[in-house]
Structure 1
Amino acid sequence: MKQVTVVDHPLVQHKLTQMRKRETSTAGFRRLLGEVSHLLCYEATRELPMTKETIETPLTDMEAPILAGKKLVFASVLRAGNGLLEGMLDLVPSARVAHIGLYRDPETLQPVEYYFKSPDDLSNRLTIVVDPMLATANSAIAAVDKLKERGAANLRFVCLLAAPEGIEKFSSAHPDVPIITASIDSHLNDHGYIVPGLGDAGDRMYGTK
Structure 2
Amino acid sequence: MTPPQVHHVTHPLVQHKLTLMRNKNASSTTFRTLLGELAMLMAYEVTRDMPTHLVEVQTPLETMQSPMIDGKKLVFASILRAGNGMLDGLLRVVPSARVGHIGLYRDPATLKAVEYYYKMPADLQERDVIAVDPMLATGHSAVAALNKLKAARPRSLKFLCLLAAPTGIQTLHAAHPDVPIYTAAIDRELNDHGYILPGLGDAGDRIFGTK
Under a length normalisation based on structure 1, what TM-score does the superposition of the two structures give? 0.98
Candidates 13, 17, 39, aligned match of 1:11: 13
Contact residue 121 and residue 151 of structure 1 kept, 8 A: no
Name the aligned partner's letter for residue 141 of structure 1.
V
SS in 1 for 2:124: coil
| Residues 169-178 or 82-91, more deviating | 82-91
Candidates 167, 178, 181, aligned match of 1:179: 181
Name the aligned partner's letter for residue 48 of structure 1.
M
Contact residue 73 and residue 127 of structure 1 kept, 8 A: yes
Structure 1 counterpart of 2:102 = 100
Partners of 1:73 and 1:134 in 2: how far apart? 20
Shift of 1:10: 0.1
Within the alignment, does 1:131 sit opposite 2:136 as a pair? no
Could you give the per-residue CA deviations for residues 74-95 of structure 1, whole angstroms, max 9, x where no partner exists?
1000000011122101111111
Query: What is the percent sequence identity of the aligned residues?
Result: 62
Contact residue 127 and residue 152 of structure 1 kept, 8 A: yes
Partners of 1:129 and 1:82 in 2: how far apart? 11
Shift of 1:153: 4.6
Partners of 1:131 and 1:102 in 2: how far apart? 11
Under a length normalisation based on structure 2, what TM-score does the superposition of the two structures give? 0.97
Shift of 1:149: 1.3
SS in 2 for 1:143: helix
Show structure 1 runs of 4+ deviating over 2 A. none
Structure 1 counterpart of 2:89 = 87
Structure 2 gaps of 5+ residues are none
SS in 2 for 1:55: strand
Name the aligned partner's letter for residue 192 of structure 1.
G
Alignment of 1:39-78 (within 5 A): 39-78=41-80
| C-alpha RMSD of the superposition | 0.8
Structure 2 counterpart of 1:117 = 119
Partners of 2:79 and 2:66 in 1: how far apart? 35
Q: Number of aligned pairs?
A: 209
Name the aligned partner's letter for residue 175 of structure 1.
P
| Residues 3-12 or 105-114, more deviating | 105-114
Structure 1 gaps of 5+ residues are none
